[in-house]
Amino acid sequence: MTNLSSRIQNLRINDWIAAQRDGSDNPARWRRFAKTMLATFAGGLAICYAFILIVDPYQVVPFSPPMPRPNIDTSQRHFYPAIIRHGNFDSIIVGNSTSRLLNPDIFDAHLGGRFANLGMNAATAWEQMQMAGLFLRVRGAPKTMIVGLDQAWCDQRADQPGHILTIRAFPDWMFDDNPWNDFLYLLNGKTLETAVRVVMTDLGHGRIRLGANGFSVYTPPDDSYDLAAAQHRIWGDREHKVVPVVPSVVLSDAERAALRFPAHPWLDSQLAANGAGTRTIFVWVPASIAVLPVPGSRDAAVEEACKADIDAIARRHGVTVIDWRIASKLAADDSTFWDPYHHRLPIAQRIQNDLFKALAGENQAPDGAWVVREHGR
């Protein structure tokens, strides 16, 4: 056996020496190798692309075959356009993650219509209006539009790089009116991974993250709530209290005139485009006092100016404005929140119920948790 192995090894060495002496066919061998590798790569790429086009996880391919395509991804920016285009909805909720716990089914029952919740994690004001604009172009003016407002709408740099978009990829190619340019963006690892997950979910080996109407309870189960952990997320190592500024800062006319809120014209334009047939409701969502502007501070005066500007837009378009983003007992109660910005599911349910009370004519909550700034039509 040892002699046989030695002979085989000698033959390989001799073949290698001969190949080095006679290099005339080496370029041909390399060409054959390169062609084989290129063909293998191109074939694999074609198979992956064909798989993506057939599965069509984002529902943008006009000729993809009919099949269940569950909303399995955490990137709402990629899945909501399909909900708009292929769902049977006439009303919408837009906002960021602080609006995602508003249940469309509840609004269906109380306000009429068919609601979709299109709130996106960390959505900027510009991204929210892109979603509302797409709905308008594809489905027509919404019957009802609820807009969840927070500090993003008071961002004085909302139109600058780093504020228009976040680090999350925004697929603007899904928001235009040309379906054919979508093909340029589908061949990538993320889309392939999503397509595989869609198939696996259809086979019973995945989890549907978003309902057909865009809704999901994205927070942990409420019975797992840990107040001490929440307080650490809310306050960190700071003292658990806020000291108001006395006397309160009052902006001068010149300071007020110098303020700019670039996102407000986008909202104004969207309401004008929707037209008078759309019932619109603005909801300033609650936040912990740990992150609200300190009462009496200049930041608080600036935010109030921002809200007053939103009120003026609301009056022009007959919009109801309900403000939960105030320094109330609810905002001071740490058990309201999972973290400084995100409230618990029972609070979302209260926001819904109290919204209907506000629309019925109530002006404020008995416990001061909210106040109606504008009564619309």
Percentage of the chain beyond pLDDT 70 is 93
Query: Using 50, 70 and 90 to split pLDDT, how confident is the model at 264?
Result: very high
pLDDT recorded at residue 4: 45
| pLDDT at residue 2 is higher than 80 | no
- pLDDT, the chain, mean: 91
| pLDDT tens per residue, range 135-163 | 999 999 999 999 999 999 999 999 999 89
What's the chain look like in SS3?
A: CHHHHHHHHHHHHHHHHHHHHCHHHHHHHHHHHHHHHHHHHHHHHHHHHHHHHHHCCCCCCCCCCCCCCCECCCCHHHHHHHHHHHCCCCEEEECEHHHCCCCHHHHHHHHCCCEEECCECCCCHHHHHHHHHHHHHHHCCCCEEEEEECHHHHCCCCCCCCCCCCCCCCCHHHCCCCHHHHHHHHCCHHHHHHHHHHHHHHCCCCCCCECCCCCCCCCCCHHHCCHHHHHHHHHCCCCCCCCCCCCCCCCCHHHHHHCCCCHHHHHHHHHHHHCCCCEEEEEECCCCCCCCCCCCCHHHHHHHHHHHHHHHHHHHHCCEEEECCCCCHHHHCHHHECCCCCECHHHHHHHHHHHHHHHCCCCECCCCCCEEEECCC
Query: Using 50, 70 and 90 to split pLDDT, how confident is the model at 17?
Result: low
- Rounded mean pLDDT, 102-123: 95
- Rounded mean pLDDT, 232-247: 94
Q: Please name the CATH architecture into which domain 76-165+209-374 falls.
A: 3-Layer(aba) Sandwich (3.40)
| pLDDT tens per residue, range 31-83 | 887 788 888 888 888 899 999 999 999 999 888 898 888 888 778 999 999 99
The pTM of this model reads 0.88
What residue ranges do the domains of the chain occupy? 76-165+209-374
